[in-house]
Amino acid sequence: MPTIESRTAGDRLTRIARGEVVSTTIHPELAHEEAVLDVQGFNLWYGETQAIFDVSMSIPQGKVTALIGPSGCGKSTLLRSVNRMNDLIETVSISGDMKLGPDSIYGKSVDVIELRRRMGMVFQKSNPFPMSIRENVVYALKINGERNRAVLDEVCEKALRGAALWDEVKDRLDESGLSMSGGQQQRLCIARAIAAEPEVLLMDEPCSALDPIATSRVEELILRLRGDYTVLMVTHNMQQASRVSDFTAFMYLGQVVEYGPTARLFTNPLLKETEDYITGRFG
């Protein structure tokens, strides 16, 4: 168990920069949470370059967890490893495992398609498909073989309401998803991601391409989703992390330095390095 003394125990960031693997400082509060996603000793390489070093963390059920850290620290890579989007890159190799509930994510006999259906993902840049708003939302269900119009309509409405978009688009569900504004498009992507009732919702800097008003709407939305969905989000905006997340993990050069309740981490972190980063003295 890390104690307050560790705040003074050498400069972890310098050690990480030298290539040493530093153990993650995890706050005791996390032990009380029920984990839905469990990362176990996960390493990832792009070709010869290692991008993630021995990350172990569990993501609590029904909570919003934020990954923060300077650019290039591996936040997005870690997030994309959860639903194995990195499989699309040929040079990627990994070791270690993750578990979604009781099931292994990187096990030999895992059906990646099936696995991805259990998770939703929202990307940095909104990416609605070239089809109508309705088709966009029910895409995941349709490719899964759902044909019943009544079911699809119900899911569509529920997801759009969940994404706080229903009132704006209910009269033009058959218009192109690309005809909406940027903020609406991003909420449409969130609706698409939650339509299939995912166990984990992955968000990769969901507000970085949005203006402040659209950002605040998406943040409100994330706050509303808390409880119903487990959200794992990457953000480089620390104010955002403090506003919307329950737990925050500070990453640096592919390692998780400190992981704990957001309120603790931002006001009274265990490590001096985290405090330096959060207060802007470094990074």
Contacting positions for another protein (CB under 8 A):
83, 85, 88, 113-114, 116-117, 119-121, 123, 125, 127-131, 139-140, 143-144, 176, 178-179, 189, 192-193, 196, 202
Distance in Å, CB of 259 to another protein, minimum = 25
The least CB distance from residue 89 to another protein, in Å, is 11
CB of 87 to another protein, least distance (A): 9
Cβ-in-10-Å burial (0-12, 13-18, 19+) of 142 comes to middle
Q: How far is the CB of 176 from another protein (least distance, A)?
A: 5
Q: How far is the CB of 94 from another protein (least distance, A)?
A: 17
Task: Decide whether 15 or 172 has the Cβ nearer to another protein.
Answer: 172
Nearer of residues 50 and 176 to another protein, judged by Cβ: 176
| Beta carbon of residue 168, minimum distance to another protein (angstroms, whole number) | 17
Nearer to another protein, 127 or 216 (CB): 127
Nearer to another protein, 116 or 187 (CB): 116
- As measured in angstroms, the least distance from the Cβ of 244 to another protein is 21
Q: Nearer to another protein by C-beta: 121 or 256? A: 121
Dihedral, 191, 246, 238, 195 alpha carbons, nearest 10 = -10
Q: Minimal CA–CA distance to 136: which of 182, 85, 187, 171?
A: 187
Nearer to another protein, 178 or 263 (CB): 178
In terms of CB distance, is 191 or 271 closer to another protein? 191
Shortest spacing between CB 104 and another protein, in angstroms: 17
- Report CA 136 to chain centroid distance, whole Å: 21
* CA neighbor of 201 nearest in space, from 180, 177, 224, 170: 224
Concatenated DSSP letters of the chain: ---GGGGGSS-HHHHHHHTPPPPPEE-GGGGGSPEEEEEEEEEEEETTEEEEEEEEEEEETTSEEEEE-STTSSHHHHHHHHTTGGGGSTTEEEEEEEEETTEESS-TT--HHHHHHTEEEE-SS----SSBHHHHHTHHHHHTT---HHHHHHHHHHHHHHTT-HHHHTT-TTSBGGGS-HHHHHHHHHHHHHHT--SEEEEESTTTTS-HHHHHHHHHHHHHHBTTBEEEEE-S-HHHHHHH-SEEEEEETTEEEEEEEHHHHHHS-SSHHHHHHHHTS--
* Closer residue to another protein in complex, CB, 177/269: 177
